[in-house]
Structure 1
Amino acid sequence: MAVFILSNRKIILKKNKDDKDSFSNDEMSIPNFRIAKCNFDNFKEPTKAQEKSKNYQGRAILDCKILGEPNKTGYQEVVDILKKEKGLNDSELTSSNLSGTQKMFYDLYKEMSTTKSQNDVLIFIHGFAYTFDDELKAILTLKKLYIDNKDSPINHILFISWPASSSIFPLTYFDDRAASINSGNSLLRLFYFYTQFLKDIFADKDLKPCNQHIHLMAHSMGNRLLQSMLYSLKTENISRVIDQVVLLSADVSFRVFEEAEDSFIKLPLLANRISIYVNKKDNILGISQFSKNILSPRLGKMGPSQISKLYETVSIIDVTGSENNLLTSAKYNFGNHWNYLSSSEVQKDIVAVLGGTDQSLIANRKVLNNNSYILA
């Protein structure tokens, strides 16, 4: 298991030798993503008293270490170390010489090259109103939902951390829009690093593909971050390196799959399958539409406007009738915006999607047409 945080949050430097550098809760960003690796070795579930404590933050939630920046660009050093470990060369380098994306990609390649059956990677982009402490709590939740779940194919998580505002209502939701767009540019750079890693690794005939899958999940305004990346991604540079893309409560226009928008129409070039989860009672997306996006219904509330050309790649799952049986506070029942956390039905459906189950064979679905389903 490997869990990494990729963040363009401001970094808080350690004050003494016993501390570690950390990411800030501030709503400020740095130009590029920095990478931290999470450590679960000494993790213990917090008590309710600890969760309420003012000291329940940062490393008290989850220990993580920010990796240093690589001294060189490219991934030839990773290739050399992997070949040395196979007895194919005499490089003086070891994995301790690696930093940043070099270390992350090395660890993931090593982990995913094992014979373990449930060994996929989930890239998760969170939505609005998250502090860094909130993100750490979200990572623990995602680990329970997907890594600890015996029915899930996921064994590794890349959590995309971006500096959203710290308050849910009412105006910070819209302030986060600019932050998500800016963070999309950093995500684009990271995507190019990843494709370069694949080219460098598999250009060497001695290193074989790991034959595992990488999935991408974006919630709420995290879809705007994804949209920003796709806007700038040149079509000729796209490789199909993602298996399943899951769009949850997507706060983007319902026209994003039209040619005029020229953004999400690139997703079928990037992924094998795209699943759009729609909730017609999503009140948070209703606020978004009528406050800042007049005449532009949200994808996660209305579904896509034009999808006929993409029905072989894109599926729409209507979860309007799903019950919030796991989390029932006013936030979840009124907002209807976090079904992937609050509904066991939605959670099971997502796990089936990530597992590659044929869309028409997933349990508790009713077929509406050849690419649309309702969770019954």
Structure 2
Amino acid sequence: MLFITSRMPTHNTEPELNPDFVFDLGNNASSRAFFCCRRKKTDSYEEIGSKALLSAIKESKHRQVLLYIHGFSNLPETVFKNAEEFQALCNKKKAGEVLVVPVIWPCDNDLGIVKDYWDDQKAADQSAFALARMFQKFMEWRASPEYNPEDDPCLKRINVLAHSMGNRVLRETLANWCRYDQPQGLPLLFRATFLVAADIVNESLHRGKVGELISHASRNVVVYYASDDLALRASKVSNLRNAEASRRLGHTGPEDMDLTPNNVYAIDCDDVNTRYDPPKGHSYFRSGDKKGEPGVVFDHIFNTMLTGRVFPSDEFRKSSILTLQRT
């Protein structure tokens, strides 16, 4: 499995590639650089470099790419396990359609959820600098006549799925990318951006807020939320310590849909989230009632990637409720 990470290795061989890349799990400070790697097997990785990773994606049989940005308190092998589950579900739906590429940022491995939470918020913000460089590097590669000549351009469609605190990583990454590399505005890079159980304030996507940049870089932005998400309930309590009392985007959806850009959609997942992920109701976007069988949230995500539209039968619809009754 190909992956990108801002997590430091135990031994950094820059500028040379590291054939035996080992995550430094005791260090949750983000690297100043990003590393493009391949997972060979459990706990065995090699650094291959950005050009090799991008070329491998271009040459793959898959029509689309899904960048998966995980949530807080997830160590690398947990992320890979979740990404493999999502990849298997995609393959089951339509082989050769979607290639899942995890983006791993340095969560903490300390004991205690509150300590982890604050450490991970800092790591999420720090990772934004390295990951913004990742997007700029991609733009340079895509425009390169050497790697993408006119008669052989890269035609992959790019999507991104951010889960939980991964939404903070995405938001801050795009803000840094705009600030330092794209001051005239972000390019339309993503076909679809899926914000699942987003651990950011629910005004984040409003016009004039920093999260508005997510809609600038995306054709469509889909917010999946559930009011009984217990992990986000704990997140809200934790954020009170930082004088941030606003509800989370993954609890309520956007605070006011009229204040969001026109390409933002909201999907209520209350009917299925705790059923798919008991008791927390936080990771409900992969399998449904049975491991390896897609749930209705996954179905909606996959169909959106397949069609390029959030509600193909109703172009003016902005919100919906997902139930166990598939339509």
Q: Normalization by structure 2: what TM-score?
A: 0.82
**RMSD, aligned CA:** 2.6
Give CA-to-partner distance per residue, 1:304-332, whole Å, 9 cap, x none. Answer: 12332546311100001116555xxxxx3
Partner of 1:158: 101
AA in 2 matched with 1:271 = S
Change in Cα spacing, 1:352 to 1:184, as seen in structure 2 (3 Å) is same
Give CA-to-partner distance per residue, 1:52-73, whole Å, 9 cap, x none. Answer: xxxxxxx4x2643122xxxxxx
Find 1:4's aligned residue among 2, 5, 15: 2
Give CA-to-partner distance per residue, 1:105-135, whole Å, 9 cap, x none. Answer: 1222222xxxx5x521110100011122222
Find 1:278's aligned residue among 225, 234, 238: 225
Partner of 2:153: 209
Tell me, yes or no, if structure 1 residue 197 matches structure 2 residue 145. Answer: no
Find 2:284's aligned residue among 330, 335, 339: 339
Give CA-to-partner distance per residue, 1:135-194, whole Å, 9 cap, x none. Answer: 232332232232x22337644222111110235734312321111110111111111111
Secondary structure of 2:153's match? Answer: coil
AA in 2 matched with 1:134 = T
1:322-361 map, 5 Å: 322=272, 324=274, 332-341=277-286, 343=288, 344-356=295-307, 358-361=309-312
Partner of 2:205: 257
Contact 2:207 2:259 in 1 (8 A): no
Larger mean Cα displacement after TM superposition, 126-135 or 196-205: 196-205
1:48-127 map, 5 Å: 59=41, 61=42, 63-67=44-48, 100-111=49-60, 116=61, 118-127=62-71
Uncovered stretches (5+) of structure 1, i.e. residues with no partner: 40-58, 68-99, 327-331
Contact 2:105 2:124 in 1 (8 A): yes
AA in 1 matched with 2:256 = Q
Partner of 1:268: 215
How many residue pairs get matched? 301
AA in 2 matched with 1:21 = F
Give CA-to-partner distance per residue, 1:331-371, whole Å, 9 cap, x none. Answer: x3221111113531212121112212543347xxxx9x830
AA in 2 matched with 1:299 = L
Contact 1:257 1:307 in 2 (8 A): no
Change in Cα spacing, 1:286 to 1:240, as seen in structure 2 (3 Å) is same
Tell me, yes or no, if structure 1 residue 313 matches structure 2 residue 263. Answer: yes
Partner of 2:249: 299
Secondary structure of 2:99's match? Answer: strand
1:290 Cα deviation after fit: 2.2
Percent identical residues: 20
AA in 1 matched with 2:305 = L
Contact 1:283 1:335 in 2 (8 A): yes
Contact 2:230 2:280 in 1 (8 A): yes
Q: Matched residues in 2 for 1:241 and 1:168: separation?
A: 37
Secondary structure of 2:81's match? Answer: helix
Secondary structure of 1:285's match? Answer: helix
Secondary structure of 2:198's match? Answer: coil
Q: Matched residues in 2 for 1:244 and 1:342: separation?
A: 20
Change in Cα spacing, 1:177 to 1:361, as seen in structure 2 (3 Å) is same
Q: Normalization by structure 1: what TM-score?
A: 0.72
Tell me, yes or no, if structure 1 residue 375 matches structure 2 residue 288. Answer: no
1:204 Cα deviation after fit: 6.7
Find 1:241's aligned residue among 189, 192, 196: 189
Contact 1:128 1:168 in 2 (8 A): no
Uncovered stretches (5+) of structure 2, i.e. residues with no partner: 13-18, 289-294
- Bigger Rg, structure 1 or 2: 1
